[in-house]
């Protein structure tokens, strides 16, 4: 069971582990449950959506939008959120849908500085969750 820690702009939860019997973890980076407001903007065509960032890792995130959105694979997106007073605006591509309002985004083209900031944020989230 995941434990939670309150963070500015939302709630963060401990690392999401592999479920027993589900096989080996295929992700390159550990992911963490978070809960903070997010704005998602498809780069081409569709309008800006609001929603919640539900999972976060160095490699990507899972978002849930306030409205129905059936994302195709490899749609380029900008995901904006603010956690611990640090604004993030990350570009990525959709890599799968979870429901009619939830989809995963794999981050692309992240600068080294932005990657370090995200890594520090995730380390803080992990440390707080472990302390609970």
Q: Rg of the chain's alpha carbons, rounded to an integer?
A: 14
What's the pTM value of the predicted model, to 2 decimals?
0.78
Average pLDDT over all residues of the chain: 81
Distance CA 83, CA 125 (A): 10
Residues 85-102: tens digit of each pLDDT: 999 999 999 998 878 889
Q: Give the CA dihedral 84, 37, 89, 41, nearest 10 degrees.
A: 180
The more confidently predicted of residues 15 and 30 is 30
Q: What is the mean pLDDT of residues 116-132?
A: 90
Q: What is the mean pLDDT of residues 63-76?
A: 84
Top-tier CATH class for 29-131 = mainly beta
Q: Give the CA dihedral 112, 116, 108, 35, nearest 10 degrees.
A: -160
Q: Where are the domains of the chain?
A: 29-131
């Amino acid at each position: 069971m995941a434990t939670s820690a309150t963070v500015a702009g939302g709630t963060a939860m401990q690392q999401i582990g592999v479920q027993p019997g589900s096989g080996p973890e295929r992700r390159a980076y550990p992911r963490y449950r978070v809960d903070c407001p997010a704005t998602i903007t498809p780069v081409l065509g569709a309008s800006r959506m609001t929603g919640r960032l539900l999972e976060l890792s160095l490699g990507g995130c899972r978002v849930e939008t306030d409205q129905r959105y059936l994302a195709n694979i490899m749609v380029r997106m900008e995901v904006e959120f603010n956690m611990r007073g640090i604004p993030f605006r990350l570009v990525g591509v959709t890599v799968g849908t979870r429901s009619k309002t939830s989809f995963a985004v794999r981050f692309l083209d992240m600068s080294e500085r932005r990657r370090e900031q995200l890594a520090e944020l995730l380390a803080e989230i992990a440390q707080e969750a472990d302390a609970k």
